[in-house]
Amino acid sequence: MDILRNLLYDLIQDTYVAAMLEVNCLSLYNWRERCIIGNIYSALVFEGLIATFDSRWFKRDVLPMIKANGAARLRFCVSRTFRYIAIMAVSPPVVLTIAGFDPSSGAGATADIKTIAAHGCYGVSCITALTVQSTAGVRRVEPVDPDLITQTLDELASDVEIAAVHIGMLGGVKVVRAVAEFLAKSKLANVVLDPILKSSSGADLLDPAGARLLQEKLIPLATVLTPNVDEAAVLTGLAVSNPDQMRAAALKLHERGAAAVVITGGHLDKAIDLLSFTSKNGVEQEVFKSVRLRSNSTHGTGCAFATSVACHLALGRGLPEAVLLAKAYVAAAISKAHPLGHGTGPVHHLYRMNQQRRTPASGDPEPIQ
């Protein structure tokens, strides 16, 4: 439809088609009437315009295609203050990460933003705690004032449409309460809760009171819970070291209010992840197996996995597909990681930047200069 876009430009002469965020004004497939940037001077009905085209080519080739795609109902935006852009921007899904700050950027909010960008989404964040840490371990944790967290979350939710939420390190009981209250009132969809209790180096990242409140308030609000085997053991009080025990722990978490659970087993001899979710048929469980990668670059794998799941849910994928794709993403991020630091290095969140992108089958054949 690029030629048709140019015809419309010629038709209206000095009036430029507005390229709007979240609006593909001339799309025949994905119509949105609301434009969020710029002034809309007029809204023209496509049906009125096509009557002005009297060429044999238009009637023979273009008009049947337009009618077949229901474009007679299409409205588009024109403005004298906007220049036409051949490739119209469509806003990516917004993914919110609520997590701590890791100065090494191997985990926490800064790592989450990289993961979100790698999935073609737009990341916004709320910092829950400041840490002193590197690849060698966590030295200090300072939770952020819960009032500041509440104000930050309210401000973001009032400004952008949030398609998914990732919750990572919370740091303290007051922060858990602030986040739970925000989720309860905002009722956001696609909430992925990664119940981070300890760092990989063994430092406590959530106090016992916070862990109890997380189970009581946050787990029932989450779309999916993503503990590793150690976290699942702490949350349930059960031993979790093999697939059967993972299944039992998942059932226990369902009893605690979890709608869906992914217990990650990257710490086991074989990388086994268990997805357990409730449906009209009861509890269904799926096991995802892969070869465990031997690598010293595994810092932040849990954050990357949970954030990747949130991104795929934001993009409209189902939970089983999201889990499978997230598992593949983390495996690739580990295998392509660079050695960094004196301790456990980070995964390569942005490894896709070095991959050659496929050239689109067709571009805009007649771009307007």
Its pTM stands at 0.73
Statement to judge: residues 143 and 57 lie in one domain: no
Does residue 34 sit in the same domain as residue 105?
no
Instruction: Specify if 366 maps to a domain.
Output: no
Q: Which domain holds residue 118?
A: 94-352
Q: Assess if residue 361 is contained within a domain.
A: no
Query: Smallest Cα–Cα separation from 314: which of 110, 166, 100, 167?
Result: 166
How far apart are the C-alpha atoms of 225 and 219, rounded to whole Å?
7
71 and 136 inside one domain = no
144 in the same domain as 53: no
Closest CA to 160 of 245, 215, 96, 230: 96
Q: Determine the Cα–Cα distance for residues 188 and 157; give it in Å rounded to an integer.
A: 9
Q: What is the pLDDT along the chain (369 residues), one digit of tens a residue?
A: 333 444 443 333 333 333 333 333 333 333 333 333 333 323 333 443 444 444 555 556 655 655 555 444 334 444 434 333 334 447 899 999 999 999 999 999 999 999 999 999 999 999 999 999 999 999 999 999 999 999 999 999 999 999 999 999 999 999 999 999 999 999 999 999 999 998 877 788 999 999 999 999 999 999 999 999 999 999 999 999 999 999 999 999 999 999 999 999 866 777 789 999 988 888 999 998 877 788 888 888 999 999 999 999 999 999 999 999 999 999 999 999 989 999 999 999 998 887 655 444 444 443 433
Last residue of a domain, one of 79, 114, 135: 79
The structural domain count of the chain equals: 2
109 in the same domain as 181: yes
Residue 102 sits in the same domain as residue 54: no
Residue 359 lies in a domain: no
Amino acid at 162: I
Q: Do 103 and 164 lie in a common domain?
A: yes
Q: Are residues 6 and 131 in the same domain?
A: no
In-domain check, residue 84: no
Q: What is the DSSP string of 63-126?
A: HHHHHHTTGGG-EEEEETT----SS---PPPEEEEEEEE-TTSSSHHHHHHHHHHHTT-EEEEE
